[in-house]
Structure 1
Amino acid sequence: MKKIQLRTEIPGPRSKEVVALEQQHLSPGLQGFALWAGVAMAKGQGSTLTDVDGNVYVDLIGGIGVNALGHCHPRYVAALQRQAETLTVGSFTSEPRAKLVNEVCAMAPAGLDRLQLYSGGAEAVESALRLARHHTGRSEVVSFWGGFHGKTAGAAALLGTPARDGLGPLPAHATQIPYADCYRCPFRLERASCDLACADFARKAIKAQPAGPVAAVIMEPMQGTAGNVVPPPEFVAAVADAAHEVGALFIADEMICGFGRTGKPWGVSHSGARPDIVTLGKGFGSGFPVAGVLTTDAISRAKPWSNPSGASSSYGGNALAAAAALASVSVIREEKLWENAERVGAAILAELRRMQERHPFIGKVDGAGLFLGVELVKDRKTREPVDGKVMQQVYRDCVKKGLLAMSYSPHLRLQPALTIDAETALEGLAVLDEVFAELNRSGAWR
């Protein structure tokens, strides 16, 4: 039974009213895909969203990796309802928080058994940076081209993209080095013969490029904002080793690729890399704003991070947030949702590769589990990216046909709920294929 149901033009009359009402006083800067769609949502179920006009869409955006359990998962809803009736705020110990820290540490990468909780990803990254600096007594941090770790000052200093332009002045002691994006290799090499030159460069750069001894090397084991980029697993392991060689901590930012997203419990699970600190978010709370910092017992004792109030947050780990995260992590772990991610992700990837054969502007298709990326190009040989206006039009055309799939030049990113079934996912891809066919006929991508 098809999930997509279109009752009005998109956006419909009621959506136009609600969006106009919001825009009267909402500050600029909302996420681009939300603005381009122009629709107001009323409810969600699983991997579908229904707008205020009754139009039903297949959702392959998944809250940019936030919606791990799907919209309104019954266990998640029940947990929030129960907790909202008893206790919602405060820093005192609660049963949901006590259970949550143990549940997360039972699933954590080996050796990580201490968890501190926060309300957002950037806040967790900032805390992880402080912890690394307190533990090592050093200041310098190394991050990667294409990386994204948040928009607060310390996290923004780690940005490896032009998005940092105009954000300054940013804190010092941050160095960016090339990431292993094999489709757009910074060294212009081919993976078959490169001998992983990027890893060799990273090892040398971590030793020589920063202004002083390195406290931490932070990386996304798979990069999200850069276009859902999956590096060779050997690269991640080599970077972790290089960090440890200079006495630095290796921080794995698992905001997007953690909790089963990539077909394994963690992004680092693909490489065998040993992180000293892991930052958590997005699918951690399946929609509730909750994030965390995972580390070892020894590292967590660094002062002043470990002093009373030294690592705390007013909202972090409140009873309502803990109940939401506990429901999310429990379902992911008990149902081994990474296995569904691996299975359905393989079906999506196979279909995308078939589409690549039909549409000459599809340059790259790659992914791991339900972390998938497509790049559109004007020419497969030169890999010149398509114009941003083309990607916006692709996105809008998909929305009008009932598909929500995140796109910005030259990337199309798919990160649906970990509970999605193959039939729903392929129904969404059928819409994307139709939009691509229209783009192919028009020649507008050239």
Structure 2
Amino acid sequence: METHPIQQPKDQKASLKSAIPGPKSRALIERENQHVAPGLQRFAQMAGIVMKEARGSTITDVDGNTFIDIIGGIGVNGLGHSHPKFVEAVKEQVELCSVGSFSSEPRVDLVERIAKHARTPKLHRTQLYSSGAEAVESALRLAKCYTGKNEFVSFWGGFHGKTMGVLSLMGSDFKEKMGPLVPGNAIVPYAYCYRCPLKLKQESCSLACVELARKQIKMSTTGNVAAMIVEPMQGSAGNIIPPKDFLPAVHGIAKEIGALFIADEMITGFGRTGKYWATEHSGTEPDMITIGKQFGGGVPVSGIISRDEIVNAKPWSNPSGSSSSYGGNPLVSAAAATALRIIDEEGLVENSRRMGEYFLRKLEPLVDRYPFVGEVRGAGLFLAIEMVKDKTTREPLAKEIMYQVFKDFVKHGLLTMAYDAKFRIQPAMTIDEKTIDNAVAIITEVYDGMNKSGTWKS
């Protein structure tokens, strides 16, 4: 397919005109805090800025400060902010029709575009929802209906949403004090090789974590597993990229136990990792894919993709059995279809691959340059920096230090997810080399200051 030039600005820079946060931001947040409930995104609260407008890879606040954005809406903002084609399409659709469960031309266009990029020809049936957790819950219901089984397997470090129905899948301590959880789930090891839970070396471990997972499933379930759900590359856990043979190996376990294999591609799908689907990197063919985030171009839309024989399972396939009030309405369908069209027309999957390789090359020297950078890794524009107190033990830098690192980045005009020792980087797929250079220059400036002051040692 012939591609068009990317319609987003290039060589975007930070420009600071006030203290951070500025007086207008502080005043607005003070007003908001009188009424908004706690629990908002940590980095948004820590930054303390109030957005006014954004374009491409920059955000400008109400005080006139412009920041380079490499958060990308936590993977939502694949097109970059305010892509002109996207803005035009959403404006046009909202004037025609926004909501309703009836079929619409935008929805027909959308499901056809998804089918065009099917992971396999048979994987072409789509149902649409509004949030990631909603789509995952529907996928679990469908797996139960199709298999007649009632247990699930998920992975250490895995994240599939925050609703009660999917909290039991979560492989972290986020669910502390949330019990009792939905029963019938086993959580098994994921291949996080930089910090191997078994203290083994990748080159000689023979994927011992997979064998442990096999044993744990046998010991922790009743042999009635409906589905195994996995992120092909884990996002919330720190943009973790497993060895290429890990996913096929755990897929093999799913086949052994007669379970469906669900790939949660909320974060990794639609080109984020340099391929349309992250499962392509390992050649894995799932039974079901959950989708969201940059799928909607900035509008809340998610979904599941599966095969004919699976989606016809009852009662999931009964009238109203898998529907959603807002799922697939004309407005979100137009937005998502336009996002997929732009990804194709502007060659954003290939741009993600090329810019990801470029970004990674720029970050790799940091490992030798700084004693607190343990590893950098990436697949497309799905990157991470491991921040450590000791390179030998790989002990993560303390949260208090990382909070200060995050604030220093903001004060230099860079919006990041560097509030954790696993510093995640997920910029817009429209980003260019010069904007990456400008972002890396700020990272280097902040790291130089850390190294000189020695604050990272405390």
TM-score computed with the length of structure 2 as normaliser? 0.96
Q: Which residue of 2 aligns with 1:62?
A: 72
State the partner residue of 1:49. Answer: 59
User: What does 1:227-306 correspond to in 2, within 5 Å?
Assistant: 227-306=238-317
Aligned to 1:109: 119
The aligned residue for residue 8 of structure 1 is 18
Partners of 1:150 and 1:167 in 2: CA distance? 14
The one-letter code matched in structure 1 to 2:26 is K
- Kindly state the Cα deviation for residue 414 of structure 1 after the two structures are TM-superposed: 0.3
Match of 2:328 among 306, 317, 324: 317
**How many angstroms apart in 2 are the aligned matches of 1:266 and 1:74?**
25
**Residue in structure 2 matched with residue 38 of structure 1 by the alignment:** 48
Q: Which residue of 1 aligns with 2:372?
A: 361
For residues 293-344 of structure 1, the C-alpha deviation after alignment (integer angstroms, 9 at most, x for no partner) is 0000110000000000000000100000101100111111233311111111
Equivalent of residue 156 in structure 1, options 141, 161, 167: 167
Q: How many residues align?
A: 446
Matched, 1:82 2:96: no
**Matched-pair contact (CA < 8 Å) for 1:125–1:149:** yes
8 Å Cα contact 1:60/1:425 also seen in 2: no
In 2: Cα distance, 1:173 partner to 1:445 partner: 42
Q: 1:130 matched to which residue of 2?
A: 141
Contact 1:100 1:325 in 2 (8 A): yes
2: CA distance between counterparts of 1:333 and 1:212? 43
Identify the range of structure 1 (380-389 vs 204-213) with the bigger mean alpha-carbon deviation.
Answer: 204-213
Any idea what SS the aligned residue of 1:425 has? helix
1:197 equivalent in alignment to 2:171: no
| Aligned with residue 132 of structure 2, among 109, 121, 144 | 121
Indicate the residue corresponding to 1:20 in structure 2: 30
* 2:383 maps to 1:372: yes
Q: 1:72 aligns with which of 66, 82, 91?
A: 82
Supply the AA of the counterpart residue of 2:119: P
Structure 2 counterpart of 1:98, which letter? V
Taking the aligned partners of 1:233 and 1:243, their CA distance within structure 2 comes to: 17
DSSP 3-state at the match of 1:269? helix
Cα pair 1:107 1:333 within 8 Å, conserved:
no
CA distance in 2, matches of 1:214, 1:408: 37
2:104 aligns with 94
Mapped to 1, the partners of 2:50 and 2:290 lie a distance apart of 32
Pick aligned residue for 1:387 from 374, 377, 398: 398
Asked if the contact 1:89/1:315 (under 8 Å) is kept, the reply is: yes
**For each residue in 1:3-30, what CA deviation from the matched residue of structure 2 results, as whole angstroms up to 9, or x when unmatched?**
2111111111111111111111000000
Give 1:282's aligned amino acid: K
Q: Which position in structure 1 is the counterpart of 2:184?
A: 173
CA distance in 2, matches of 1:355, 1:232: 23
What's the offset of the Cα at 1:103?
A: 0.4
Q: Is the CA contact (8 Å cut-off) linking 1:148 and 1:160 kept in structure 2?
A: yes
Distance of 1:313 and 1:386 partners within structure 2? 43
1:336 aligns with 2:336: no
The equivalent position to 1:352 in structure 2, one of 363, 385, 392, is 363
Alignment of 1:396-435 (within 5 A): 396-435=407-446
DSSP-derived class of the 1:215 partner: strand
Secondary structure of the residue that 1:329 maps to in structure 2? helix
SS at match of 1:233: coil
Contact 2:348 2:430 in 1 (8 A): yes
Deviates more, 1:344-353 or 1:81-90: 344-353
Give the Cα–Cα distance (whole angstroms) in 1 for the partners of residues 199 and 222 of structure 2: 27
Is 1:277–1:293's contact at 8 Å kept on the other side of the alignment? yes
Task: Report the alpha carbon displacement of residue 387 of structure 1 after superposing the two structures with TM.
Answer: 0.6
Asked if structure 1 preserves the Cα contact closer than 8 Å seen for 2:123 and 2:287, the reply is yes
Q: Which residue of 2 aligns with 1:215?
A: 226
Measured in 2, the distance between the counterparts of 1:435 and 1:113 equals 46
Deviation at 1:208, TM superposition (A): 4.0
TM-score (normalizing by structure 1): 0.98
- Percent pairwise identity: 54
Structure 2 residue matching 1:85: 3-state secondary structure: helix
Query: Which moves more between the two structures, 434-443 or 69-78?
Result: 434-443
Contact 1:206 1:242 in 2 (8 A): no
CA RMSD of aligned residues (A): 1.0
Asked if structure 2 preserves the Cα contact closer than 8 Å seen for 1:207 and 1:246, the reply is no
Cα 1:285–1:2, aligned 2, differ >3 Å: closer, same or farther?
Answer: closer
- Kindly state the Cα deviation for residue 2 of structure 1 after the two structures are TM-superposed: 5.3
Using the alignment, how far apart are the partners of 1:332 and 1:190 within structure 2? 38
Distance 1:80 1:363 in 2: 43
Instruction: Give the secondary-structure state (helix, strand or coil) at the position aligned to 2:377.
Output: strand
**1:191 Cα offset (Å):** 0.8
- Higher mean alpha-carbon deviation, 276-285 vs 355-364, is at 355-364
Amino acid paired to 2:97: L
Shift of 1:206: 3.4
What whole-Å deviation, never above 9, does each CA across 1:134-169 have from its counterpart, x for those lacking one? Answer: 100001100000000001112111000011111111
Amino acid at match of 2:129: Y
Is there any run of 5+ residues in structure 1 with no aligned partner, and where? none
CA shift, 1:202, in A, is: 2.6
